[in-house]
Homo-oligomer: A and B are copies of this chain.
Amino acid sequence: MTFFSQPEIEPTDAVKFAEFQPLIDKYNREKWDQMERFDPEFYRLCQEKIPSAAELDSEPINARVFVTEPGLLSDSEREIVNELTIDDLLRKQLSRELTAEQIARAYIKSAIIAQFATNCVMQFLIPSALERAKELDEYLREHGELLGPMHGIPISLKEQMGYEGQPTTASYVSLIENVVKKSTVSNQIFYKLGGVYHARTSQPQTIMHLDTWNNIIGRTRNPCCTRLSPGGSSGGESAMVAMHGSAIGIGSDIGGSVRCPAAFTNLFGLKPTTKRLSSMNGVSGSKGQESIPSTEGPVARSIEEIEHYMNVYINQGKPWTYDPTSLPIPWEIAATAGSKPRIGILYTDNLVTPYPAIKRAMTQIAQHLEPSFHIIDLSDAWFTEQEMLSIYSTNLSLYTVDGNKSQLEVLLPSGEPLLPLTKHFLNFGGGKELSVYENRKLNILRDTARLSIFEKFFSRDAPASLQLDFILSPANVAPAEIPGNSKYWGYTSLWNLTDYPNVVFPTPCKQDPQQDILISESLNKNEFEKMVWYKQDGTINYNPTDYTGAPVALQLTGMRFQDEKIVSAVKKICQILDISRR
């Protein structure tokens, strides 16, 4: 099978698209108007202090300083958004040191900065967030207790999540006026637990890029280095949370869409086992597709906040009381990773060699973890290049198995142009429509891969030298990528295909142009590696300085339904490596 030939699909219809332009303009104007109305003085200060879009797009600017350093936010605002954990915010409200309104105002300001610096917001919800915060303060005054374990916590929402009474576009221009009747189960749950929603964040066209660019708001930037991509598809979330524009964010992941953005922006991201969180009432172009199920997942600044999210969502939110497909499996609070857990290290998936910074980080970290974990090198035990080619081809084909009809159904009505990474995605599996029978055969290959991972590495019948608790692997080929460059999904999408849960976490390593130079001998040069490593003219496409400022993240995978154990292990790793809250 040949992937990535030029796709024949070109639904762009400039005339039709032009009709939508006024709606797009109105959609965006409302956002900027909300920002300005909230605090005109602050708005002008942001305009003045934050570099222009053109400058941000071309320079390696660390945009987080606009939030962490004095200049735009007051000391108390900076304390709220930078220093205080979710636990701190809850405690300080209970002790009356802070009000929900103060918290909301501080976070709305940092979210406005985030929007200026990274263009991560689809829609602001500032008036309703302020109203909600006041109600929560009133509730606390009246009842002497918090409404719930998210009382007054500003949570950002990936925009594709249905929001009652608001347009939910999922970044499809055709859905720009798609006002939905029902909020997602997650929105309903966190609302009941006291959450404050102030911003809905960007996702790429089709929600199927490991990058974030759409025809409604344009491109989102990486806060760590603005000329780089924040990852995707939950790139609005990663930019927002990394800018401290929300305390925690809700993303979703069908091929890496929580983990890639978390990795690119120096954050934590969890893709849980599917059906532990509900995805009900989300809008997407792959409804009814179940060969590779999507899942929601949190993007956060610490592993403890990921744990808090999962614990209160599942144990108090009980998604199965809203969504009959959600699993009634409690979040096990006391889960531990065991005394000396066994971690298999996967330096390469044998298909596409990761960039040098990734390997350097893994080698260093393996050494540091050695005293507390059994570290097992998976180089000999992992699937061969041929096996991986088959697994990844199955993976890609399943994403486009309907010949992209479901996607085109939402793309075509607006005539919006197809962005480069949309064409790339629509051409997965050659863009070929397969039959239901062929889809089933691919499902069987998927199940075989899942079982094979289980039997090779995790089950009690696995070789004694393996029998792993976890697999540590790259989160991506590259540290944060150049916009438009994230074409290989394998390091994350394998775990969607096979539905194993994982956490992406930041490491102490960053791209270092001096150290992270290429050793070309190690390349396998199959078509996917060529796509990543080579230019059209056959010369190497890797330039160490392109990634300056980019963080290196890794991914820890465990057995299905052992999400708690993975979170616990990442807590332990963070202690050992001294990885503090971002």
Interface stretch (choices A78-86, A401-409, A504-512): A401-409
Complex alpha-carbon distance, A328 and B447, angstroms: 18
Residues of B within 8 A of A328 (CB): 329, 561
Q: Is A324's beta carbon under 8 Å from chain B?
A: yes
Q: Is A98's beta carbon under 8 Å from chain B?
A: no
Known contacts A436-B403, A436-B434, A440-B289: does B324 contact A327 (CB below 8 Å)?
A: no
Partner of A440, one of B323, B325, B406, B435: B406
Contact, CB under 8 Å: A444 / B287: yes
Q: Is A559's beta carbon under 8 Å from chain B?
A: yes
Complex alpha-carbon distance, A435 and B435, angstroms: 6
Residues of B within 8 A of A439 (CB): 288, 436, 439
Partner of A402, one of B286, B323, B437, B560: B437
Contact, CB under 8 Å: A436 / B287: no
Q: In the complex, what's the smallest C-beta–C-beta distance from A408 to chain B, in angstroms?
A: 10
Contact, CB under 8 Å: B290 / A324: no
Complex alpha-carbon distance, A325 and B450, angstroms: 9
Contact, CB under 8 Å: A321 / B459: yes
Contact, CB under 8 Å: A450 / B324: yes
Which chain B residue shows the least CB distance to A458? Answer: B324
Contact, CB under 8 Å: A324 / B288: no
Residues of B within 8 A of A559 (CB): 324
Contact, CB under 8 Å: A437 / B406: yes
Known contacts A327-B329, A436-B403: does B320 contact A561 (CB below 8 Å)?
A: yes
Q: Is A443's beta carbon under 8 Å from chain B?
A: yes
Contact, CB under 8 Å: A327 / B327: yes
Residues of B within 8 A of A453 (CB): 324
Which chain B residue shows the least CB distance to A500? Answer: B324
Residues of B within 8 A of A447 (CB): 288, 325
Complex alpha-carbon distance, A271 and B428, angstroms: 39
Contact, CB under 8 Å: A402 / B436: yes
| A window 261-314: CB within 8 A of B | 280, 286-291
Contact, CB under 8 Å: A560 / B324: yes
Complex alpha-carbon distance, A405 and B438, angstroms: 10
Complex alpha-carbon distance, A280 and B454, angstroms: 14
Residues of B within 8 A of A290 (CB): 290-291, 443
Q: Is A433's beta carbon under 8 Å from chain B?
A: yes
Contact, CB under 8 Å: B321 / A288: no
Q: In the complex, what's the smallest C-beta–C-beta distance from A236 to chain B, in angstroms?
A: 26
Complex alpha-carbon distance, A325 and B273, angstroms: 11
Q: In the complex, what's the smallest C-beta–C-beta distance from A331 to chain B, in angstroms?
A: 13
Which chain B residue shows the least CB distance to A452? Answer: B324
Interface string of A524-563 (1 = CB under 8 A from B): 0000000000000000000000000000000000011100
Contact, CB under 8 Å: B435 / A321: no
| A window 318-368: CB within 8 A of B | 320-325, 327-329
Residues of B within 8 A of A459 (CB): 321-322
Q: Is A460's beta carbon under 8 Å from chain B?
A: yes
Q: Is A37's beta carbon under 8 Å from chain B?
A: no
Contact, CB under 8 Å: B435 / A288: no
Contact, CB under 8 Å: A561 / B327: yes
Q: Is A441's beta carbon under 8 Å from chain B?
A: yes
Return 13 A-B CB contacts under 8 Å, by A number.
A287-B440, A288-B439, A288-B441, A288-B443, A288-B444, A288-B447, A290-B291, A323-B451, A403-B437, A405-B435, A405-B437, A434-B436, A435-B435
* Chain A residues at the B interface, C-beta cutoff of 8 Å: 280, 286-291, 320-325, 327-329, 401-403, 405-406, 433-437, 439-444, 447, 450-451, 453-454, 458-460, 559-561
For the complex with contacts A406-B440, A435-B435, A436-B436, 19 further pairs of A-B residues with Cβ separation under 8 Å are A286-B440, A287-B440, A288-B439, A289-B440, A290-B291, A321-B459, A324-B453, A324-B454, A324-B559, A325-B447, A325-B450, A325-B560, A328-B329, A329-B329, A402-B440, A405-B435, A433-B436, A434-B436, A439-B439
Q: Which 7 A-B pairs have the closest CB atoms?
A: A288-B440, A288-B443, A405-B437, A402-B436, A324-B454, A288-B444, A402-B437
